[in-house]
């Protein structure tokens, strides 16, 4: 029986004698600012791809979208800590958080979290659109009131948590287009799948801490690591076909497809190495590979996206775009529509 399995492991872990102080640090820990930086990044990517490139951005709308999403993300983080005070206090990774350490009451944290959720919803609904607002508040509900209670009960909590990570780029896309076209689901699918091997690698490294906190994570219930490695490898391999849907639906071009294939295969190899011989070192390498995968693939999608060209089939089959203004049909230069409406010689 390991130390993490003993009854003592269920007792709160005493905070350090000199816990992190200062209002700035407290706010960062309470809102999980470093983690939510990824939320804002993926929201921005969704918005840029929805607008078909950087050239057509409405920077003011992007700023409002990220602010509203950031408020909702902070709300989810705070509500999670208010509801998980006991479990957080037993884990070394989380015992210094404001609520777990006793620097902030769970009741106050809960009220602040609800207030931020309302503020994020109101800002997005009033200034951006009802679809991104509903997505943002749904994310708060799923994270705080479904994912958080499931964590000590079943390993499927990770699948629910992955839904929360998939929604931010969909918020950005819907803010840009007003709807949830195929591109939004492509981005959401990439983020959903990516989170599974990413999180399982992290959870393996901190499996004793998760066990101490009473969380039913897969690596906690899989002492050999074989099942964890198999799931990591399978889900990482799924990133290859899911990444190709970006080109299939015209979100990005063939260069993006190539990079998604290369990076997905590379990430899968590291997960496979962990599967063959589970260990902290190989889990760490797979985790670092996941951190490299996401910005590379999303960054290339942004670069390889953009406005339609006459050779749109080369860029993944994005159809020509037309618009109507004052009763006139405006065609993209060089497209078939443009040729049909262009005056003769």
Rounded mean pLDDT of 247-273? 94
pLDDT range class, residue 306, cuts 50, 70, 90: low
CA 291 to chain centre: 12
Could you tell me the CA-to-CA distances from 193 to 162, 203, 267 in Å, in that order? Answer: 8, 16, 12
Residue 4 has pLDDT above 50, yes or no: no
Give the per-residue pLDDT at 136: 97
Which helix H or strand E contains 123, and what residues bound it? Answer: helix 106-127
| Res. 20 pLDDT band, cuts 50 70 90 | low
DSSP 281-308: HHHHHHHHHHHHHHHHHHHHHHHH--S-
Q: What is the mean pLDDT of residues 125-154?
A: 96
With a cut of 50, say whether residue 259 has pLDDT above it. Answer: yes
Residue 305's pLDDT is 78
pLDDT in tens, 186-237: 999 999 999 999 999 999 999 999 999 999 999 999 999 999 999 999 999 9
25 confidence band (pLDDT: 50, 70, 90)? confident
Whole-angstrom distance, CA of residue 294 vs CA of residue 16: 34
User: What is the sign of the dihedral through the CA atoms of 108, 114, 120 and 123?
Assistant: negative
pLDDT at 38: 92
| Percent of residues, the chain, with pLDDT higher than 70 | 81
Q: Is the pLDDT of residue 175 over 70?
A: yes
For position 55, what pLDDT does the model report? 65
For residue 137, pLDDT over 60 is answered with yes
Cα angle value 340/344/345 (rounded, 5°): 150
pLDDT number for residue 320:
39
And the tokens for 183?
A: 């591109």
| C-beta of residue 287 within 8 angstroms of C-beta of residue 202 | yes
What rounded mean pLDDT belongs to the chain?
84
Question: Could you tell me the domains of the chain?
Answer: 1-180 (1.10.357.140), 185-307 (1.20.120.1780), 310-345 (no CATH)
């Amino acid at each position: 029986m390991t130390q993490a399995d003993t009854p003592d492991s269920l007792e709160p872990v005493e905070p350090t004698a000199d816990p992190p102080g200062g209002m700035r640090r407290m706010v960062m820990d309470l809102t999980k600012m470093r983690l939510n930086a990824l939320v804002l990044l993926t929201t921005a990517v969704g918005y840029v791809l929805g607008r078909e490139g950087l050239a057509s951005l409405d920077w003011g709308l992007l700023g409002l979208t990220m602010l509203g999403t950031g408020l909702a993300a902070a709300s989810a983080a705070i509500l999670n800590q208010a509801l998980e005070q006991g479990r957080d206090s037993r884990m070394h990774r989380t015992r210094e958080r404001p609520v777990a350490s006793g620097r902030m009451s769970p009741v106050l944290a809960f009220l602040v979290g609800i207030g931020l959720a309302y503020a994020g919803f109101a800002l997005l609904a009033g200034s951006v659109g009802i679809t991104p607002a509903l997505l943002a508040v749904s994310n708060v509900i799923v994270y705080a009131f479904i994912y958080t209670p499931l964590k000590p009960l079943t390993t499927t909590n990770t699948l629910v948590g992955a839904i929360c990570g998939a929604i931010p780029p969909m918020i950005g896309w819907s803010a840009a287009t007003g709807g949830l076209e195929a591109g939004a689901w492509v981005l959401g699918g990439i983020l959903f799948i990516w989170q599974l091997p990413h999180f399982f690698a992290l959870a393996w490294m901190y499996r004793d801490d998760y066990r101490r906190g009473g969380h039913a994570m897969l690596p906690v219930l899989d002492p050999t690591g074989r099942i964890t490695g198999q799931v990591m490898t399978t889900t990482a391999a799924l990133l290859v076909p899911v990444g190709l849907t970006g080109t299939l639906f015209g979100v990005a071009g063939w260069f993006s497809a190539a990079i998604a294939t290369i990076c997905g295969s590379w990430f899968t190899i590291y997960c496979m190495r962990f599967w063959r011989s589970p260990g902290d070192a190989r889990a760490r390498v797979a985790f670092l590979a996941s951190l490299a995968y996401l910005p590379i693939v999303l960054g290339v999608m942004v670069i390889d996206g953009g406005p339609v060209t006459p050779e749109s089939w080369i860029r993944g089959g994005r159809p020509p775009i037309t618009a109507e203004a004052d009763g006139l049909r405006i065609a993209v230069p060089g497209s078939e529509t443009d040729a049909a409406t262009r005056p003769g010689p």
